[in-house]
Amino acid sequence: MKVRFSKKVVAAIVALNVIFTVAVLVIFYKTGAEPSVLIGAWFAFTTGELWACASIKKAEVAAEEKDDAEDGENEIGI
């Protein structure tokens, strides 16, 4: 079964977020310092990537629905 590229991107982002969170917790445990700017930037970046993937998928679904609706009109003879 072929896995869509967008599904790979989403899985990679989730995995990277888990790895990042563990790394930040280890850094915080060892140094007692929280890299708050880095945390904010990282999660803003990954949220933006997920938002972009969702926007692309939404546009694809809308285009498919439009094509299906046009095909249905042609079959009826309108």
- pTM for this entry: 0.74
Instruction: Say which DSSP state 59 is in.
Output: H
Q: Is the pLDDT at 77 greater than 60, yes or no? A: no
pLDDT value of position 12: 95
Average pLDDT, the chain: 88
> DSSP label at 77?
T
pLDDT for 42 beyond 70:
yes
* Confidence at residue 36, expressed as pLDDT on a 0 to 100 scale: 94
pLDDT tens figures, 19-33: 999 999 999 999 999
More confident residue, 75 or 60: 60
Q: Other C-beta atoms within 10 Å of 50: how many?
A: 16
CA pair distance 8, 33, nearest whole angstrom: 33
Query: Cα(30)–Cα(27) distance, rounded to whole angstroms?
Result: 5
